[in-house]
Structure 1
Amino acid sequence: MRRPLRLVLHAAPTKEDASNTRRSLLDGIRRWGLTMFEGLRLGDIELLAAELITNAVVHTGMPVQVTANWTGTAVRVEVTDSSTEEPVANDQFGEALTNGQGMNLVKALSNAWGVAVDHEAGTKIVWFECRPDHALTTGAQAVSEVASAKH
């Protein structure tokens, strides 16, 4: 039986460190040897991870934790930050928009995504999953989880 594959990384609240963390994440996922993710699908994971990491750093100004897991069927990436404000996908499109489109990318390119908010701890996790099959050909499953801490 194959051992679970997991990475845990931390990013300081700078765009440069967010970029370095994204590169480290992709290097780690490549080392897992999941050949079915080579090429375009690994590029999707990189783009979506960059979006979530950068959003967390820019919007909170605090360090973030990035976790990646191989579930046996998908790569799941989670970004934990120190805010309870949920990201919102912008319903408006067009060249005039300079931001607010990142969550639309997450919705379009992932097989599943969601948000888990812990109001008691003052944190949230924004996550996505990518399977080897491309979400655009199988239909993305948008999932929104809002979880409260149970103590």
Structure 2
Amino acid sequence: MEEASEGAMDQSGAAQLKRRLGRADLRAVPEARRALRDLLRHWGRPGKSEIAELLTSELVTNALIHTDHDAVLTATVSPRGLRVEVRDFVGRRPRLRVPNADDGTHGRGLVLVQSLADAWGVRAHGVGKSVWFELDGGAA
């Protein structure tokens, strides 16, 4: 990972994690989880933090294996909740699909995000897109 800023606090009391993830470097997945865990140490309930780690892993993995480009992870935690965004530099939108038994463990990432996040979506950029999710700070 080339650049990282962790725990930066803004005027509203929000803390932010920002990491650039190297192309196809799947070591970034556990490193992103660890950094997010540190950021969320005093946020929400434990169940929400675990969900956030799982969903972040899914978005980071998808960006790294489906784009063959770098990606940027941004997580912002505030009194209102958590927003995690993974930006990549490929315009192709991810497809939400229901996996079947023959898919093994593949194809479930966005289904998990849709099922567990309070909100999620895809936002187009001039170059690429961001896939994001939000969790409120309440009970898991």
Normalised TM-score (structure 2): 0.81
Could you say which structure has the higher strand fraction?
2
Query: Any residues of structure 2 matched to 1:70-149 within 5 Å, and which?
Result: 70-93=77-100, 95-98=101-104, 99-118=106-125, 121-133=126-138
Please say if 1:43 is aligned against 2:46. Answer: no
Q: Tell me, which stretches of 5 or more residues in structure 1 are unaligned?
A: 136-151
What amino acid is aligned across from residue 17 of structure 1 in structure 2?
Answer: A
Q: Tell me, which stretches of 5 or more residues in structure 2 are unaligned?
A: 1-10
Shift of 1:21: 2.2
CA RMSD of aligned residues (A): 1.9
Please say if 1:5 is aligned against 2:15. Answer: yes
* 1:2-38 deviation digits (Å, cap 9, x = unpaired): 52221111211211123212221222222xx22x232
Normalised TM-score (structure 1): 0.76
* Higher deviation after alignment, 60-69 or 49-58: 60-69
Please say if 1:25 is aligned against 2:36. Answer: yes
- Is the 1:53–1:79 contact (alpha carbons within 8 Å) kept by the matching residues of 2? yes
Separation in structure 2 between the aligned mates of residue 124 and residue 105 of structure 1, nearest angstrom: 19
How many residues align structurally? 128
What amino acid is aligned across from residue 27 of structure 1 in structure 2?
Answer: D
- Is the 2:63–2:71 contact (alpha carbons within 8 Å) kept by the matching residues of 1? yes
Percent identical residues: 30
Separation in structure 2 between the aligned mates of residue 67 and residue 4 of structure 1, nearest angstrom: 12
